[in-house]
Every structure is written in structure tokens, then in C-alpha cells.
Amino acid sequence: MRYFVCVFCLILLLSTPAMAVAEGEAARVKTFKGTAFIVRQQQAIQVKQHDRIYPGDLLRTGPDGTMGVIFRDNTTLSLGPRSEIAVDEFLFAPSQGKLSIVTRMFRGTAAYLSGVIAKLSPASVRFETPAATIGIRGTHFLVQVEGADKK
Amino acid sequence: MKFSSLILLASAFMLLSFAACAPAHRTRVILIPDPDGKVGEITVQNKGGAQIMTQAGQMAEVHDDATAPVSPASVMDDKEIHRIFGDVLAALPEKPLTFILYFKTNSFELNIPSLKVLNSAHEAISSRQSEDISVIGHTDRVGTDEKNYILSRKRALSVKKYLVVKGVHPDAIELDYHGEANPLVKTAEGVAEPRNRRVEVIVR
């Protein structure tokens, strides 16, 4: 029994660093107007200046809303009104070779200016939309995804 | 346990098939110049094919995930870009600013010209009212990895201390140090390279 407890503790200990990486901050809110939310664990929180964004969060704006964020690698992203973008993955640890930024847009308008990850490892950057995936080699682009408004 | 994972799998599958049947979301992607005027390159890709874009104002239109993206011959003019994307461009945060400070060899003392750069960094922090600053220490490849790791930390700490004395809140500064692992200029082991003996201050 004691042996199992020890093994269990060891597993817990070993798994902590991986969790710490997954829970790392991805970005911060820099601009916002009107209705703009971070949806985390099915709860929508109205954003404030300097709010932190984590992998797994969904960014959502209302008809009067906009929001702009900067990721830890300096990638800059903004959402127009009635827009939704999920931050699926973010890893930025150049000295360990861990790099990944994956965002997924459901609807609305967005502007994206890529950061350090796109310079170091373009293959680690993906911007997904319902109809296509955008691969990025260090640049600035706009996206519009049309779709029915959510009630 | 097995039963619940089966339910999870089943719902994941339902979600996937729902997504596949969902109505098409017409998507438009427009390449625009970086703030410094350069135009990069993006690829818009799905099951139907790919469109590589390299020209400012160039657009890719996608009707659904099975039909290849198409790129109209004409570029989107500024007026049209502004009409559709005015709000979103206005919401785009100012680009982060990076300041690079250089150090004397094997020391955490700034070289004299870098003091001026450090003051510019402080001015940028004040004018942006930034609470999101990274201070990252680096070294060149003279000396052991361990010694350089410690030296890069000392360099970063000395810059942080300076900014805190100037009135920046310590919690606003994220400290990091990479030793000799993240050079600005790649060199062989043992080479003295002044451009790598540095601290980067990023103001977001």
C-alpha cells in the first residue's frame, strides 16, 4: 500500500511541470470597447485592461464590442464586433525549443500581426477558420468569417 | 470509467460530424503590410487546395472547407479594407517595443551608451502606462554555461532594480534569463561577442 502511495506521489510530482506549462499565461488584454468577454470554463467574464488570457480561453465580442490582445511572444491580435476566437494552444519557451501558437476563429473580423514564434518556427503558428487554415511567415493580415449571429 | 470515456468519444464524434454539416462560413483573408511597411507571406489552405499570398491587399476567398481558396486578380483597396475592418484595426494594440542594453564583459555593469537606451525604455513604460514588461538577460559564450546563466540573471536583475528605483512597480516586470542559450548573433563556444552580452526590455 505504502508503495502505491509513493508511486502516486511520484507521478503527481512528475506531472506538475507539464501542467505548469499548459497553464502558462498566453496573452493580455490591451484594448477593449463595449461588450467584450473572456469565456473560461463556460463562464463569460467582461474584460478589463491588463486581464490575462490562458490557453483554452475563448475571446468573444458583442455587437458594440472590440478587443485587442498581445501574446507573450509579441503576436498582436484584435477582434471586431460580433467576433469569436479561441486560444487553443500557446507555448513560448525558446531555450527549451517549445513553441506553439494556435488560434481558432469562429466568426466576425480579426487582425493578426505575428510575433517571435512565427520568426523562430513558422510551422508552429496556425490560425484556423471554419473553411481554411492560415499558415503564417511573419506578417500582418485581416480575416472575415461570415456566419449567423448567436442569439 | 470505461463507459464515461465512451460517452466522451461519442460526443466528440457528434461534434465533429456537426461541424462537418454546419453551414458554410464564407471566409476572406487579406494580407496587409506590417507597421514597418514590409509585406510577409501567408498560406490559406484547406482540403480543396492552397493559396499563397505575398502581395499587399491580396485577398483569398474561401466558401467552405472542401473548396479551394480563390484569390481575385484585383487587390482590396484601402477604402474597402477600412469599411470592413476599420473597427478591428482601431482595436489592434500598439506594437510592443524592444530596447536592447549592452554590458561590459563578465560584468553586470551597463556600458555608457546603454544608459540612454534604458531611460528611453523607462519613458516608453511611462507613456504607455505599461504593466506588462519583460526583462530578459543574456550572455556571450565566454565561460561555462552555469556561470553564464547566473551572469544573465544578475544582468536582468540590475536592469529591473534600476526600473523599480525609477518608480516602475516590481509586479509589472517579468524577469527572465537565458544564459548563453539565446544569442542575438550565433558564435562558437568561447567567443567574446559584445552584441550577445545584453538585456532585452520589452514594453507591451
3-state secondary structure of B76: coil
| A22 three-class SS | helix
Residue of A nearest to B20 (CA): A130
Q: Show residues of chain A in contact with B134, CB under 8 Å.
A: 72
Whole-number Å distance between alpha carbons of A14 and B75: 53
B119 in Cβ contact with B99 (< 8 Å): no
Q: What is the pTM of this model?
A: 0.80
- B136–chain A nearest CA distance, Å: 12
**Residue B116 distance to chain A (closest CA, Å):** 24
Per DSSP (E only), the strands in chain A are 27-33, 36-40, 43-46, 52-53, 58-61, 66-71, 76-79, 84-93, 98-113, 125-128, 133-137, 140-145
Q: Quick check: A75 and B204 in contact, CB under 8 A? A: no
B39, B56 Cβ separation under 8 angstroms: yes
CB–CB of A144 and B23 under 8 A? no
Chain B (136-175) residues lying within 8 Å, Cβ to Cβ, of chain A: none
Q: Among partner residues B19, B69, B92, which is closest to A68 by beta-carbon distance?
A: B92
Task: Report how far residue B41's alpha carbon sits from residue B153's, in angstroms, rounded to the nearest whole number.
Answer: 36
Q: Tell whether the torsion through CA atoms of B185, B132, A56 and B26 is positive or negative.
A: negative
* Distance of residue B65 Cα from the nearest chain A Cα, in angstroms: 4
Angle, helices B112-128 vs B145-165, to 10°: value is 60
How many CB pairs below 8 A link A and B? 159
State the pLDDT confidence band at B114, using cuts at 50, 70 and 90. Answer: very high
Q: Distance between CA A33 and CA A81 in Å, rounded?
A: 9
Q: Using CA atoms, how far apart are residues B86 and A22, in angstroms rounded to an integer?
A: 34
Range in A106-115, A124-133, B4-13 with the lowest mean pLDDT: B4-13
Domain ranges of chain A: 24-145
Q: What's the pLDDT score for residue B11?
A: 34
- Contact between chains at A137 and B89 (C-beta distance less than 8 A): no
- Provide the grid cell at A76: 498582436
Measured distance CA(B28)–CA(A109) in Å, rounded: 9
State how far the alpha carbon of B14 is from the alpha carbons of A56, B19, B22, in Å. Answer: 21, 8, 12
- Rounded to an integer, what is the distance from CA A11 to the centroid of its chain? 28
Predicted confidence (pLDDT) at residue B167 exceeds the cutoff of 90 = yes
Q: Which residue has the higher pLDDT, B196 or A14?
A: B196
Pairing of strands A98-113, A125-128: parallel
Q: Any bridge partners for residue A128, and if so which?
A: A104, A133
Phi-psi region of B4 (alpha: psi -120 to 50; beta: other; left: phi over 0): alpha
**Residue range B9-41, pLDDT digits in tens:** 333 333 333 444 445 689 999 999 988 899 999
Task: List, for residues A83-111, the tens digit of each pLDDT value.
Answer: 999 999 999 887 678 899 999 999 999 99
Q: Look up residue A56 and give its amino acid.
A: G
CA dist A91 and A22 (Å) reads 8
Please give the Cα distance from A26 to A38 (Å, whole number): 13
Nearest CB neighbour to A80, from listed B41, B62, B85: B85
Bridging pattern class, strands B198-203 and B133-137:
antiparallel
Closest chain B residue to A52, measured at CA: B132
Whether the pLDDT of residue B115 is over 90: the answer is yes
Cross-strand pairs, A111: A78, A142
Q: What is the pLDDT of residue B16?
A: 37
Distance from CA of B197 to the nearest CA of A (A): 16
Burial class, B16, CB count within 10 angstroms (exposed 0-12 / middle 13-18 / buried 19+): exposed
In chain B, what percentage of residues exceed pLDDT 70? 88
CB-closest option in B39, B65, B90 to A139: B39
* Average pLDDT, integer, range B104-125: 94
A146 in contact with chain B, both atoms CB, cutoff 8 A: yes
Q: Cβ B27–A144 below 8 Å, yes or no?
A: yes
Chain B 72-131, residues with CB within 8 Å of chain A CB atoms: 81, 84-85, 87-96, 131
Domains of chain B, earliest start first: 2-90 (no CATH), 97-203 (3.30.1330.60)
> Tell me, what's the pLDDT at B86?
96
